[in-house]
Amino acid sequence: MRPVELAKPLIPLGFFLGWHLLAVGLEIPPYLLPSPLAVLRAFLSDPRLFLGHALVTFAEMLLGLFLASFASLLASLLLISSSLFEGALSGFLVLLQSTPLFALAPLLVVWLGYGLSSKVAMVALVSFFPMAVSLMGGLKAHERRHAELFELMGMGLWGRFVHLYLPAALPSLFGGLRASCAVAAAGAVLGEWMGSSRGLGYLMVQMNARLRVAELFACIGLLSVVSLGLWSSISLLERRVVFWREERDEA
């Protein structure tokens, strides 16, 4: 086993061991820093409650990432159709990123209500920027001679997008998806904080109001697990879809 593979389980193990020694060794009150065992007991006291809310947050993240991916693909299609769109799209992305998105969360609740739609829209907004930037860079990864060959063959814009631009940009698209996993979790929780009756963000607000810190830590840990699971699923899907890059690396 390589040292890198050996270190993977040791890093989280060292983290939890250090956390336990800090909480127990320094006798920190549980209402400030509960031990990992206390957090685990809090989760096991009602796992269906935590997992039910985690499933709602996972659905919001998944739908929001799908919506952001679809919007990024549409924007990229406009980008390659005319050079005029590149400057306009770049300016829009900068404007979107410079806007404090937490200020938009109350508006999304007003416009879309307290249900699933406002949370999905929030996830899509925070995920669109890293995904679109990655995809814009990936669209320029094709070789110029290939583009000239497709033009000589008389292939239209849609054909070039499907057979040339999109395959070249797929690695960047998956890279943007992975980068968006962390911000997607933050967007979903922020939307749930603004107004919701389900989800880990809602449960965190309830536990915080009751000063149940161990349960609050359990929510945070479960949110990390959801993000990590989504990131791993995207990486696995990338290996299945972008199979030619792995074959090229092995060669």
pLDDT of residue 98: 76
Q: Does 18 reside within a domain?
A: no
Residue 15 lies in a domain: no
Q: Which of 48-52, 58-62, 152-156, 247-251 has the lowest mean pLDDT?
A: 247-251
**pTM, two decimal places:** 0.84
- The answer to whether residue 24 is domain-embedded is no
Residue 166 forms part of a structural domain: yes
> What does the H/E/C string look like for the chain?
CCHHHHHHHHHHHHHHHHHHHHHHHCCCCCCCCCCHHHHHHHHHHCHHHHHHHHHHHHHHHHHHHHHHHHHHHHHHHHHHHCCHHHHHHHHHHHHHHHCCHHHCHHHHHHHHCCCHHHHHHHHHHHHHHHHHHHHHHHHCCCCHHHHHHHHHCCCCHHHHHHHHHHHHHHHHHHHHHHHHHHHHHHHHHHHHHHCCCCCHHHHHHHHHHCCCHHHHHHHHHHHHHHHHHHHHHHHHHHHHHCHHHHHHHHC
Give 251 or 196, the one with higher predicted confidence: 196
Whether residue 19 is contained in a domain is answered as no
Q: Which residue range forms the structural domain that includes residue 193?
A: 50-250
In a domain, residue 197? The reply is yes
The total number of structural domains in the chain stands at 1
- What pLDDT does residue 84 have? 65
pLDDT in tens, 70-95: 998 888 777 766 666 766 777 777 77
